[in-house]
Amino acid sequence: MKIIIVGPAHPYRGGIAAFTDRLATEFVAEDVDVEVYTFTLQYPSFLFPGKTQYSDAPAPENIKIFRKINSINPFTWIKAAKKIRFQKPDIVIFAYWMSFFAPCYAKMAKIIKKNKVSRCIGLVHNMMPHEKSVLDILFSPRFVKSMDAFVALSKSVLHDIDKLDKKDKPKKFSPHPLYDHYGDKEDKIMAMNSLYLDTNYNYLLFFGLIREYKGLDLLLKAMADERIDNYPLKLIIAGEFYDKKEPYMQMIDDYKINDKIIICDKYIPDEEVKNFFNLADMVVQPYKSATQSGVTQVAYHFEKPMLVTDVGGLREIVPDGKVGYVVEPQSTKIADAICDFYDNDRLDFFENNIVEEKKKYEWSKMTATIKELYSDVSK
């Protein structure tokens, strides 16, 4: 079997590029002939508020990655699609997460399918982005129309695809597998020492790019709850600010919680991720909107309890009261969960359950789902 994946990949950084690299690695382990076609230009500058789109990490071993696609140059879409069409792969997987890429993907799929062999499968992280625009309404249906089948990483994404799919194409839900390439679970004190943190404190972790929909403001207000003063507790915010940083800093000053907050304002390189997760008691995702989250799958890998809000597909992945908490996106509810966690010493209970729960999220299950969809559309 030959498979080509189209989407973000090394040298680009971020969760979706990491997903593509890890998926390709799994296919290689299964003796599948796999190639990745990624971008020469992924985001134009007006769509990317960060400092750089590129990773300093080495390229994944044994993965053939070709940078062929300029997201704003249709001639490169056509050229890349013709190359893929000529190879006649069994499956072409399009990693989709925002409507900006829908015209590119739809054009490429149309050209590729002229070989009468290849089947195009949309691997959908988000069908509609967290911050919607008019373009999403215009472009998203084009992507759905161009695919033969779909894999959705959450049931809420599956529902969004259903609303746009007029032909009832084959589609399956397969949860986001573990991000297991960031290193191993290690001693908490060692991790604290590696980041020069005071080992007399406990730490909560907010991890990832900081945007309004991720609800950091709710978590900061929760940290200002007077009950939090009962614990030797600090919050680590680890990630690059994609929103303006100043309003958050003003909140910290206004709430008088400067001594409870540690900010690591940068994109966290792959080799440093393990330190942040290994030292944390719990990973907090106070999102105001979401479909699913790669941060959850990093937490699972490091066997860390999670506190998530009841939005999108997060409840599907984090069983409430078993591996952590699912609460309403309100600061008081977040504070309630933090207090319950420490007052009732839930750490060991949650961690023991996570060891079993994480077995649901193996990469082999994702590849099996893709192969099953291929069988469905090849009949």
Whole-prediction pTM: 0.88
Distance CA 377, CA 119 (A): 7
Predicted confidence (pLDDT) per residue in 198-241, tens digit: 999 999 999 998 989 899 999 999 999 999 999 999 999 999 99
pLDDT at 379: 77
- Computed over every residue of the chain, the mean pLDDT equals 93
Considering the chain, tell me which residue range(s) the CATH 3.40.50.2000 domain(s) occupy.
2-177+362-377, 188-360
166, 146 Cβ separation under 8 angstroms: no
pLDDT at 131: 61
More confident residue, 89 or 315: 89
Predicted confidence (pLDDT) per residue in 297-307, tens digit: 999 999 999 99
pLDDT at 94: 98
What fold is seen in the domain 188-360? Rossmann fold (3.40.50)
Does the pLDDT of residue 324 top 70, yes or no? Answer: yes
216, 206 Cβ separation under 8 angstroms: yes
φ, ψ for residue 371, nearest 5 deg = -65, -35
Predicted confidence (pLDDT) per residue in 94-108, tens digit: 999 999 999 999 999
pLDDT-derived band at 48 (thresholds 50, 70, 90) equals low
Residue 316: helix, strand or coil by DSSP? helix
**CATH node for 2-177+362-377:** 3.40.50.2000
Distance CA 164, CA 253 (A): 45
pLDDT-derived band at 132 (thresholds 50, 70, 90) equals low
More confident residue, 242 or 118: 118
pLDDT at 153: 93
- Average pLDDT of the residues in 109-115: 98
Distance CA 145, CA 155 (A): 20
Predicted confidence (pLDDT) per residue in 135-169, tens digit: 788 899 999 999 999 999 999 899 999 999 989 99
The DSSP bridge partners found for residue 104 are: none
For strand 282-285 and strand 119-124, is the pairing parallel, antiparallel, or unpaired?
Answer: unpaired
pLDDT at 60: 86
Q: For residue 336, what are the contacts with CB-CB under 8 A and spacing of at least 6?
A: 327
- Average pLDDT of the residues in 30-38: 97
More confident residue, 328 or 42: 328
Helices (H), 280-362: 294-301, 314-317, 331-343, 347-357
Does the pLDDT of residue 171 top 80, yes or no? Answer: yes
Closest CA to 227 of 328, 334, 345: 334
pLDDT at 137: 81
| Tally of CB atoms within 10 A around 225 | 18
Which has the minimum average pLDDT: 126-130, 193-197, 264-268? Answer: 126-130
Concatenated DSSP letters of 81-118: HHHHHHH--SEEEEEE--GGGHHHHHHHHHHHGGGSS-
Q: For residue 273, what are the contacts with CB-CB under 8 A and spacing of at least 6?
A: 182, 183, 298
